Amino acid sequence: MNAPDTTPAIPVIDAGPFPSPGSTPLPEYAPGEREELIARIKQLLKEKDAVLVAHYYTDQDLQMIADETGGHVSDSLDMARFGNEHPASTLVVAGVRFMGETAKILNPEKRVIMPTLKAECSLDLGCPADQFIPFCDAWPDRTVVVYANTSAEVKARSDWVVTSSIAVDVVRHLSERGEKIIWAPDRHLGRYIQTETGADMLLWQAGCVVHEAFKATAIENLKRLHPEAAILVHPESPEPVIALADVVGSTTQIIKAAQNLPNKTFIVATDNGIFYKMKQSSPGKTFIEAPSAGEGATCESCAHCPWMAMNELHNLAEVLETGANEIHIDEEVRRKALVATERMLAFSRAGKQHVPGKGNA
């Protein structure tokens, strides 16, 4: 008789139902209200010694204010870097909760506030610490690499935190020195990294509600209508969509690809909030949203993160006024999460040659 199989299985998490992409209503303003709010926010940022750090997927008014007030609009790696290096005593993070938490992990002495604390992420919700930690404990010989889209508790259990712009490089580096990996939470990004690096990886099975919805067949049909277009894809997308890509990359890498490629037209498979920066940085080029919703969909803007869309001018002004929605993290959790997060920043600053190893950083 065979011995019973004691291999720990990857837990199946049912964290949903999640709001659908495009389901958060767009902000509405009375005549003149938008301009008034923008002026008030700019004034409050000065008065409160605060700087606005916004993700590319947020409302374009927030991105514009960040740009015009010495703040920053970027991907999650660069948001973390900027917040860490800027001297302001308050960081206002417009994005989703894990971005505010990453800012606090890196800057315990600063006040970190967010326009809303309700802005979650399906990847973070799909990887609860109370299930992830025992899973890692069951595989003690594996290096734990987690995506930045996770809670502080999950980061604290990891050896490395990575974002999509650096994930392939970090895992390749670890694999080359013989390490086997636990990867969480995004299964599509995990599979993409595995294919690129050949690393031995156990993949957690969460997904992004926005990127999982892109449809390869519909993108192929669109490409037939625009044969001259390059296809740009974020690696949180499913494998058949990644297979169609001319470039796969983080949000910043997608924006740079549009600038650098000779094509004049692009089909873009990521949140459509990115079009604001893409149009600014590549004037004269045409960007087409990759199809995501099925026939009969009622969303206004289907490829748009329902949580990123919760950041808008009203709640940004209010949080600056009141100082509410501050991020707090248990100090022991923060210190552990900091080790793994700083490894990523050190890797990004120094390159492979100077990376501290697991357990000796």
Q: Other C-beta atoms within 10 Å of 345: how many? A: 16
**Total Cβ atoms within 10 A of residue 139:** 15
How many CA atoms lie less than 13 Å away from 309 in the CB half-sphere?
21
Least distance to ligand SF4, CB of residue 198, Å: 25
Q: Which two tokens stand for residue 99?
A: 């971005």
Q: Is 259 left (phi over 0), alpha (psi -120 to 50) or beta?
A: alpha
Residues 141-170 contacting ligand 13P, CB under 6 A:
149, 163-164
Binding mask 41-80 for ligand 13P (x = CB under 6 A): ----------------------------------xxx---
**Binding flag, residue 208, ligand 13P (CB under 6 A):** yes
Q: What is the 3-state secondary structure (H, E, C) of 189-207?
A: HHHHHHHHHCCCEEECCEC
Q: Give least dist CB 98 to ligand 13P, A.
A: 8
Count of residues binding ligand 13P (CB under 6 A)?
Answer: 10
User: Candidates 126-134, 170-178, 205-213, 331-339 — which segment interacts with ligand SF4 by CB under 6 A?
Assistant: 205-213
Q: Are 236 and 187 in contact (CB under 8 A)?
A: no
> What does 307 bind: ligand SF4, ligand 13P, none (CB cut-off 5 to 8 Å by kind)?
ligand SF4
And the tokens for 293? 């919703």
250 vs 348, beta carbon nearer ligand 13P:
250
In 3-state terms the chain splits into helix, strand, coil percentages (rounded to 5) of 45, 15, 45
Q: What are phi and psi of 60, to 5 degrees?
A: -65, -25
Per the CB < 8 A criterion, the answer to whether 190 and 168 are in contact is: no
Residues 231-260, mask of contacts with ligand 13P (x by CB under 6 A): -----x-------------xx---------
Partner that binds at residue 194, options ligand 13P, ligand SF4, none, CB closer than 5 to 8 Å by kind: none
Work out how close the CB of 315 gets to ligand 13P at its nearest, in angstroms, rounded to a whole number: 19
Which residues contribute to the site for ligand 13P (CB under 6 A)?
A: 75-77, 149, 163-164, 208, 236, 250-251
